[in-house]
Structure 1
Amino acid sequence: MLIRSISTRQRSELTNLRKPREFGCYSRTANDEIFVNDDRNLNYFYFTDDEFTKNQSIDLSAGRRQFEDRNETISDPCSMKGLLDTIKTTEEKVNRRLSADIITFRGIIRKLISYGIEDVKFTDPINLQVIVFDGQIFIKDVKQSSDLTKGNELQSNYGIDLGSFSGYKFETLTTIPRPFSEVSRDTIETRSKQIVSNRNEYASVVRTGIGSCKIILGAEIDAIFDFKPSAEEKEDNLGHYIELKCTKQIQSQRDCHNFEKKLFRTWLQCFLVGILRITYGFRDDTYQLRTIEEYQTSEIPQLVNPSMREQFNDAIKWYGCFIDWLLQTIPRDPKGTQIQAYRLTNGEQSLRLEQIDPSSEEYNTMVNNPDFINDAFKKWRQSLK
């Protein structure tokens, strides 16, 4: 049953944003183990100017055949288990439910905002699962067969397209697994020979929101730029994280325009959770790394062509409009015992929310999915009542 749809042309003047605050984190291993408030998978940015002088060429395509894909070892890369385990751990300390209207991932919100702002030819299709439980809205992405190889002519028999691989390779070449003082010289100097993998994940869990809506977001973090503050310092880690990206070097007006579109998406990705720094690696057509540039997230709206600048404000207006529509459309009764399930998809210049029949197999599969709202989280919330 179609509940309601919203046109992506709609906008709202609701633009007051809550400053993101990290309250937890987790590491997920290649074996799908979750370690709450554990930074074992947090990397540290380390790449000096000497790297270019020591190496006449840095090949971002080397080692593609050996790439280790998390889709091969993790049952559902879109799993909410780490996010909910972190929320549960925090709630256990205070013995109450965290105040939030929506609980989801940064990537999902970014995708929803992009769909309402950018040309749909360049945006990802929307296929999201929504559950209303304990008066809160939980949103999960649907696992794809492979988010790295789908529909890319460069895939060949390598299992990952070259563009995606070069991004992971750039991260491997510019990060180390622990602070510099704790890492051997051999570890630093042999990074070019290290097998590239996306199996280990470190994620930050952040409180944020827009208007009166309170949102909890999980966000995968690439690295720490300088240092991670100690617990005694009580300083937010968000100001120390860095986003790492890799793209083709700019050699034409078209390249410049394409890069500005990428900058917008990267700005949005960082802005949503309060990441202040972005570092881009620029490669040539043969996938040799040529230059590295650092950007401040707050400065990006002024760096693009003036004709694009309104897009940044427009993104926030669409964000506020969509969130307000979602909260008004979905009934939330914290005392209700029936779990509601919905499907959120894209239409033609619109987003559509459809309720799922509780007697259907789709409903049972979604509500009983351990990678969505797992039994331990449900039991914990019931114990609070």
Structure 2
Amino acid sequence: MSSSTAIINYKPLFNKGRTDYTSAMSKPREFGMFSQNSARQNFPEEILLKDDSNLNYFHFPEDYILMSTNNDSDDSGSIDLLKGIKKFDNSMALDTTKLDGLLKTIADYEKNKFEGKKLPFELLLTDDSLMSILTSSLVIDNQILNTGDSVNKPSRIFQLVTYDNQIFIKNINMNEANTPISNGEYCKLKFQTCSTLSKPIAEIEPTKIEKRFLKIPNNKHKKFTSVIKQAINKHKVVLSSDSIAVRGPNFVELNSYAGIEDEDVIVDDSFVYNGENLPYYINVDVYKTINNVNEAYQFEKFLFCKWLRAFLTGKDVTVIGFVDEQFKLRGLEEFKTSEIPAFLQKNGKNKDIKFAFKDALNFYGKFIEWLQETLQPSENERYYQLKFENNHWHLIELVDQEIIKRDGFNTVLTSEFKAWRESLRVKTP
């Protein structure tokens, strides 16, 4: 086989690969943010740095569930979370797997806040990708953890690029363009729309507050993303996390940098932080009502995944709306991230989950170590397929330029980001 078409395989990582240490993770810190709008009509897709215009404000008193918001229905005491699905526009939705906004934030931060130097991190990816990687290591009920979330499907394939001696991981978008939205996905978007406001409640007219129950969700066309730095066993990671809403009066503007560190976490002065925004972002999701022991057992898996995502991204609260089989909202409950482990360990019926908290973090450290031991440092781009198959993570290096271009490996990093990094190399001392 010629060098132009060779495919190089590397030693795989077993999903239950043991570690001889207990991983320690620093408290996540936000150092950037951006809003993103999809291309629609005559407007191109846009990425707005240091911009929170797509961040909403959570406001949903539980009494709302008892309100009649659908007077033409016999079931007047419920909120129908499928209302408007036939009018939902799923075309030109944002590709949430792209790293463009994250890379643009990195370059902007290096240019304006880091004295024109490269940020010192080993790994960059989205929280969706990280969740998929970590949950692959968790075997519960004799099968790999799978809650039905798109990030937890058994088939997990990523594009991995090494560049400038750093590792970049991009999830592959498996959804076909313009496919109809499922009832479950629309239900989640509708609840996020119903439970949030575009401005703080004091700035919105009362009539507009109630009209949101009639709104068609556009959450797939707009997003707000927080850019986070964290350390796992002193390996530095840059992580992006989409947030629907914020709650609390102390949200900090991005241009107010504080440089705060806690004494009980890994101290790292290589980044400057902007304060304490992360605890005010909240996760908002839906789950079916629980009617028996088996359904409660399945909910524990779902709640564990909500905890893991919140823990990794520094969010303090997850709000879950419970819906019946007709997707009518029947209940609302808030779960504090700090209280979920004790709740599941004390009250949970699923014994495997009680060990999953430590296992997930240990595998986090093990996974990065495997990448560093396996991949060769490279200043120029090298392309790999990262795939989970037969309980192992596999790295396959691609060198065939036709395959690289055909499958878009050469577009994981933007030309703008690479041009910026190249300019740093040619700077005179």
| 2:398 partner amino acid | I
The aligned counterpart of 1:215 is 237
The aligned counterpart of 2:331 is 291
**Residues 28 and 313 of structure 2 are in contact (CA less than 8 Å); yes or no, is this contact kept in structure 1?**
yes
SS at match of 1:269: helix
Q: Distance in 1 between matches of 2:287 and 2:331?
A: 10
The aligned counterpart of 2:187 is 166
| 2:210 partner amino acid | E
Q: 1:88 aligns with which of 94, 107, 112?
A: 107
Q: 2:175 aligns with which of 113, 130, 145?
A: 145
The aligned counterpart of 1:250 is 290
Q: Deviations over 1:45-77 (max 9, x none)?
A: 0011341343221111111112233xx215743
- Structure 1 residue 134 corresponds to structure 2 residue 179: no
SS at match of 1:272: helix
Q: Distance in 1 between matches of 2:178 and 2:294?
A: 25
SS at match of 2:80: coil
Identity within the alignment, %: 29
| 2:236 partner amino acid | K
**Residues 68 and 199 of structure 1 are in contact (CA less than 8 Å); yes or no, is this contact kept in structure 2?**
no
The aligned counterpart of 2:264 is none
Describe how 1:249-328 pairs up with structure 2 within 5 A: 249-304=289-344, 305=348, 307=351, 308-328=353-373
Q: Structure 1 stretch 135-144 or stretch 299-308: which is displaced more?
A: 299-308
Please state how far the C-alpha of 1:187 moved relative to its aligned partner. Answer: 2.2
Q: Deviations over 1:111-169 (max 9, x none)?
A: 001111142373322110000111110000112234996xxxxxxxxx11111111111
The aligned counterpart of 1:6 is 13
Q: 2:210 aligns with which of 164, 186, 189?
A: 189
Please say which structure displays the higher CA radius of gyration: 2
**Residues 302 and 309 of structure 1 are in contact (CA less than 8 Å); yes or no, is this contact kept in structure 2?**
no
Please state how far the C-alpha of 1:367 moved relative to its aligned partner. Answer: 4.8
SS at match of 1:318: helix
- Structure 1 residue 240 corresponds to structure 2 residue 280: yes
Q: Deviations over 1:77-123 (max 9, x none)?
A: 31111000111110111211111000110110100011111423733
Q: Distance in 1 between matches of 2:38 and 2:226?
A: 18
Q: Give the direction of change, closer, same or farther, for the CA distance of 1:226–1:271 in structure 2 (3 Å limit).
A: same
SS at match of 1:116: coil
Q: 1:352 aligns with which of 391, 394, 416?
A: 394
Alignment gaps of 5+ in structure 2: 1-7, 40-44, 69-76, 147-151, 259-274
Describe how 1:16-165 pairs up with structure 2 within 5 A: 16-31=24-39, 32-55=45-68, 56-69=77-90, 72-74=91-93, 76-93=95-112, 94=114, 95-118=116-139, 119-120=143-144, 122=146, 123-124=152-153, 125-146=155-176, 159-165=180-186
The aligned counterpart of 1:156 is none
The aligned counterpart of 2:71 is none
Q: Distance in 1 between matches of 2:186 and 2:196?
A: 16
TM-score (norm 1): 0.91
Q: 1:368 aligns with which of 394, 397, 410?
A: 410
Q: Deviations over 1:27-49 (max 9, x none)?
A: 01122210011001001100113
Q: Deviations over 1:227-248 (max 9, x none)?
A: 3234548432101110001001
SS at match of 2:129: helix
**Residues 319 and 333 of structure 2 are in contact (CA less than 8 Å); yes or no, is this contact kept in structure 1?**
yes
**Residues 248 and 282 of structure 1 are in contact (CA less than 8 Å); yes or no, is this contact kept in structure 2?**
yes
Q: Distance in 2 between matches of 1:200 and 1:169?
A: 14
**Residues 148 and 164 of structure 1 are in contact (CA less than 8 Å); yes or no, is this contact kept in structure 2?**
no
How many correspondences in the alignment? 368
Q: Distance in 2 between matches of 1:213 and 1:362?
A: 31
The aligned counterpart of 1:341 is 383
SS at match of 2:364: helix
| 2:13 partner amino acid | I
Moved over 6 A (4+): none
Q: Distance in 2 between matches of 1:113 and 1:147?
A: 28
**Residues 67 and 195 of structure 1 are in contact (CA less than 8 Å); yes or no, is this contact kept in structure 2?**
yes
Q: Distance in 1 between matches of 2:175 and 2:256?
A: 43
**Residues 121 and 238 of structure 2 are in contact (CA less than 8 Å); yes or no, is this contact kept in structure 1?**
yes
**Residues 15 and 317 of structure 1 are in contact (CA less than 8 Å); yes or no, is this contact kept in structure 2?**
yes
Q: Give the direction of change, closer, same or farther, for the CA distance of 1:144–1:4 in structure 2 (3 Å limit).
A: same
SS at match of 1:98: coil
